[in-house]
Amino acid sequence: MTQAAKIAPQSHPLAGKKMTGSQIIMQVLADEGVGAIFGYSGGAILPTYDAIMTFNEDQKANGGRQIPLIVPANEQGAGFMAAGYARASGKVGVCMVTSGPGATNTVTPVRDCMADSVPIVVICGQVPTAAIGTDAFQEAPVAALMGSLAKHVFLVTDPARLETTLRTAFEIARTGRPGPVVIDVPKDVQNWHGTFEGTGRLSIPGYRHRLAEVDANALQDEQAAAFFQLLAEARRPLIYAGGGVINGEASAALNEFVHAFDIPVVTTLMGIGAVDTTDPLSMHMLGMHGTAYANYAVEDCDFLIAVGARFDDRVAGDPKKFAAGARRIAQLDVDRAEINKVKAVHWHHVGRLAEALRALTAAGRRSGFRPDFAPWQTDLAALKRRHAMNYNRGSELVQPHYVIEEINRIAKGEAIISTGVGQHQMWAAQMFDFRGPRLWLTSGSMGTMGFGLPAAIGAQVANPGKLVIDIDGDASIRMNIGELETATTYDLPIKVVVLNNFGDGMVKQWQKLFFKGRLSGSDKSLHKKDFVKAAQADGFQYAKRLDRKQDVPAVIAEFLAFKGPAFLEVIIDADAGVYPMVGPGQGYDAMITGDYIPSRERRADGELDPSSMF
């Protein structure tokens, strides 16, 4: 046997077999290691739904790996389940829907995934090729709709290119800066009979060239030397880590770098878990609702090192004031477009974050770099003590912070926490511990209410042995409350907590602060929803309401210990607010810390312009 024969890749065992387009779809999903399909059927996707069943029957008969199908209450739920699966596992999530309304119902999850760099593949059925553009029944222009929202969109009109298109979609979704890819597959393409090749991808030279450039852009010795020159001149360095660290599987490399040189870390909302929040070097979340001590650390630092973070408006409300005391800023990112986009930086590197961080760590160790940042760490420890998270502990009403503290005491930073969007989301981000990455699932850039419950379902499917908790709000969970039944249908032991303050809590907080207390459209105290009865109707064997402060520890322990799906509604203090808070477009010197967290600075005078809200 020649050397060439030894290294030649083995052909696919099914190569050359005649299959329908739908069977090809299923085989490619299997080849890509897809662990579950989240989706809702309909006329234009029926051939592929039939192929799911026959594929799994064949796998079962032959002892092969089946791909479970999880059917939600609606397609938006399917998209967020795929997103939760992807966020919690690091794998590509798959959503499969029909044409028309099935496809349009996934618009929000697709945009959400694009905004937070989450890899999913959405397979949409489409009307037959000849009917496209005729306003046929349940037709929607998916390529046009999704083109501005997704990382990429394919419309498969040549069935011979179906297999290569599918493989390429997964490649695009998971590589570079991850994101959602949509494949629109007409019904006649699904029914087509052709030969399965078992290999091959589309020619996308521009994309692959850009990826190759990033891959090849290894950190050079002179770059590392320049970085350590800046670090040597610093007395108060601070790492500002974003979601790119987690998306790029760079958490381990970041932690090694952090501890090699004892550099403290703040994280964005999306970067939570990149560094263990219980680590002494962790200063927790910065930004609009970040901890006071994290924001003060940013103000005090003299060298800011941004890693996989993009200086977005929720962090750098006023870019000129953000880290204004930093004499130098460094930035590492996989996306060249993020460099110097918001803040001018003095040193940067575009490339794979894990590789770049490991190279920096190695270079620093080789050079014998041993900084003494002990005084800075002492200062930060004092900030943590003086400006610690706090709330009205003496109130007779149930405070949301107390509920989260009790859950956290039992979960110990090991649970997967998903959230909806609103006050409960920020309380969860502030109060929970996260011992590692992919334990925190939330809609960041889009801020999509209704995300928490379906995302928790996707995360539980990806991690069947883990404790998964959805921390939700009464307004947010209403958006996708139909997915309660999905959890019980598949006997997924997720724990759903609804912090009920009878309305859109975050909106009410802003209305009280900036609109003279006019609660336009946000007060839901007259709504009739009985959440416990709704959960019971959807099959939850454990469904309780908690409204007494003295019952919190016992009920939380009982709730989390329940073996199956469990639902807990907590009636919280309707006036509990999220603090700290930095108004949009303002600097951290204008941070409002509320009544229970000491502030070291007087808030800037003047009201915000209501047009800048949110």
Q: Which residues are catalytic?
A: 75, 137-138, 187, 506
Q: How far apart are CA 25 and CA 23, in angstroms?
A: 5
Q: How far apart are CA 614 and CA 609, in angstroms?
A: 11
Residue 65, judged by CB atoms within 10 A of its CB (0-12, 13-18, 19+), counts as exposed
Amino acid of residue 216: A
CA distances to 180, 269, 326, 426, 570 from 432, in Å? 29, 12, 29, 10, 17
How many angstroms from the chain centroid is the CA of residue 3? 45
Q: How far apart are CA 113 and CA 174, in angstroms?
A: 12
Residue-wise burial string across 488-502, b where 16 or more C-beta atoms lie within 10 A, e elsewhere: bbeebbbbbbbbbbb
Give the containing element (helix H, strand E) for 422: none
Q: Judge contact between 568 and 559, C-beta under 8 A.
A: yes
Neighbour count for residue 582 (Cβ, 10 Å)? 23
Collapse the DSSP code of 405 into the 3-class scheme (helix H, G, I; strand E, B; otherwise coil) and give the result.
helix
Residue 519, judged by CB atoms within 10 A of its CB (0-12, 13-18, 19+), counts as middle
> How many residues in the chain?
614
Amino acid of residue 143: A
Q: If you ran DSSP here, which 8-state letter would residue 515 be given?
A: S
Which DSSP string do the residues of 115-170 spell out, in sequence order?
HHT--EEEEEEE--GGGTTTT-TT---HHHHHHTTSSEEEE---GGGHHHHHHHHH
> Which among 99, 57, 106 has a CA at the least distance from the CA of 80?
106
Neighbour count for residue 332 (Cβ, 10 Å)? 31
In 196-281, the DSSP E strands lie at 237-241, 265-267
**Residue 123 region by backbone torsions, left for phi larger than 0, else alpha for psi between -120 and 50, else beta:** beta
